Amino acid sequence: MNAVTLRAHLDGKQICLDEPFEIPPDAKLFVTVVPATDDTSDLRDWYEFGKRSLARAYDDDEPDYSDAVGRPPASE
């Protein structure tokens, strides 16, 4: 099974998925708790969290890709 991100909430006792999804028994899960706030200053924390996660995903000896990678070709 590929990794998937699911929305869920805590009902006061258990974590409940917001939409049905079949999870096999003994599946490994990662749970991220998102603060219940609309304050945009929390976005800075999420940005730093994402940056650290990407840094862990790539080794220091990864090739350095140019800015052109992933761009659509120029129109002729």
In a domain, 21, yes or no: yes
In a domain, 23, yes or no: yes
Whole-model pTM above 0.75? no
For 10, phi and psi rounded to 5 degrees?
A: -100, 125
| Residue, of 29 and 65, whose pLDDT is higher | 29
Domain that holds residue 43: 8-57
pLDDT at 64 over 90: no
Query: Domain tally for the chain?
Result: 1
**Helix/strand/coil percentages in the chain, nearest 5:** 20, 10, 70
Structure confidence at residue 74 (pLDDT) = 65
User: How do residues 13-63 score in pLDDT, each as one tens digit?
Assistant: 999 999 999 999 999 998 888 766 666 566 677 777 778 777 777 767 766
In a domain, 37, yes or no: yes
